[in-house]
Amino acid sequence: MGTIISVSLLFHILIVSISLISAEKCYDTGNFRPNSTYANNRDLLLSSLASNVTANGGFYNTTTGQYNDTVYALVLCISDPSAEDCASCVNSAIQELIVACPSQKEAISWGGDPVPCIVRYANRPILGTMELSPTDYGYNTGYLKSNLTDFDHIWTSLMTATVARASMNSSRLKMAAGVAKLTSSEKIYVLMQCTPDISQSDCSNCLQNTVTEFRRCCFGRQGGYVQKPNCFLRWDLYPFYQVFSESPGPPPDFITSSPSPTNTTSTINEGKGNNSPRNLVAIIVPPIIFFAFVVLACTFFYFRKPKQDVERK
């Protein structure tokens, strides 16, 4: 039993540390029957999204079907519209969406691997309408070690400036990355992006909400993210994705001086199709603790196995 528990715990941590951020939300606005016209339209639509979003530079909206069997979809790749990363995020977000929301007429999936993306479908038009819920968020489990008064000042100005830059970005993808110096050795990195179908003021409003909600849930943490149907915020004390000139990943001295943060974050998947409040938690597995776990679990496995074999006889 001890072996099974440690091994399954190990696998849980392993999976959590590999997948970045992924969550689904099924709306309770109605269900379709398996093999119905709506079901077939949805499957057809979902299967066409990955190729079309990459062919359309990272954002794509489309519909399939007629009358009340019409399915509307919207897809956004965040940080990186390059074909390969975008398609693989969208494909895995769709796989998880189909499993989590097998018969819901409307659902959303935030993918996170290797870059973030948003995949949404509904039985109503969703293009051009800014929606502030549902929300998915997570945080780096480490706490800030710097002076919180100073941090608050620097963080808030960086967030405000980045909201403005992202919403006013004249390029098709309303994105902005920002960096601010926190201490002599630490910087704050932030990425914000909106779906390009909403107005500048809606984008600004959406992003301001993500900042407010992060502050409310997670102030004092070393990083995190908030994602909504129409916008995305992530910040950390190290560069992430490929949006900063520095290479991604925590700097080496950062890991040794404060052992909490790593590059890998993940949400624990919310219950399949339920509508409970979205209090998702990101798990950050420090490499040293993770390594200790591997060694511990392997040792357990090695010494316990013969005993189990004997017990079974």
Residues that bind ligand NAG (CB under 6 A): 35, 48, 51-52, 55, 59, 61, 68, 114, 127, 147, 149-150, 165, 169, 171, 173, 175-176, 196-197, 248-249, 263
Give whichever of 6 and 155 is closer to ligand NAG, judged by the CB atom. Answer: 155
Give whichever of 273 and 287 is closer to ligand NAG, judged by the CB atom. Answer: 287
Q: Minimum Å distance from CB 8 to ligand NAG?
A: 24
**Peptide bond before residue 116 is cis, with ω within 30 degrees of 0:** no
Q: Which residue is nearest to ligand NAG (CB)?
A: 249
Q: Minimum Å distance from CB 3 to ligand NAG?
A: 29
Q: Minimum Å distance from CB 102 to ligand NAG?
A: 14
Nearest to 19 by CA among 77, 90, 92: 92
Q: Minimum Å distance from CB 101 to ligand NAG?
A: 18
In contact, 224 and 138? CB cutoff 8 Å: yes
Give whichever of 52 and 258 is closer to ligand NAG, judged by the CB atom. Answer: 52
Name the one residue in this structure whose structure tokens are 């925590």: 250
| Identity of the amino acid at 199 | S
What is the arrangement of strands in the sheet containing 224-227, beginning at the earlier edge strand? 136-139, 224-227, 231-236, 187-194, 174-181
In contact, 135 and 228? CB cutoff 8 Å: yes
Q: Minimum Å distance from CB 79 to ligand NAG?
A: 9
Give whichever of 6 and 188 is closer to ligand NAG, judged by the CB atom. Answer: 188
Go through the chain and tell me how many residues it has: 313
Give whichever of 165 and 278 is closer to ligand NAG, judged by the CB atom. Answer: 165
Give whichever of 37 and 269 is closer to ligand NAG, judged by the CB atom. Answer: 37
Q: Minimum Å distance from CB 51 to ligand NAG?
A: 4
Q: What is the dihedral of CA 37, 41, 42, 46, to 10 degrees?
A: 160
Strands (E), 162-267: 174-181, 187-194, 224-227, 231-236
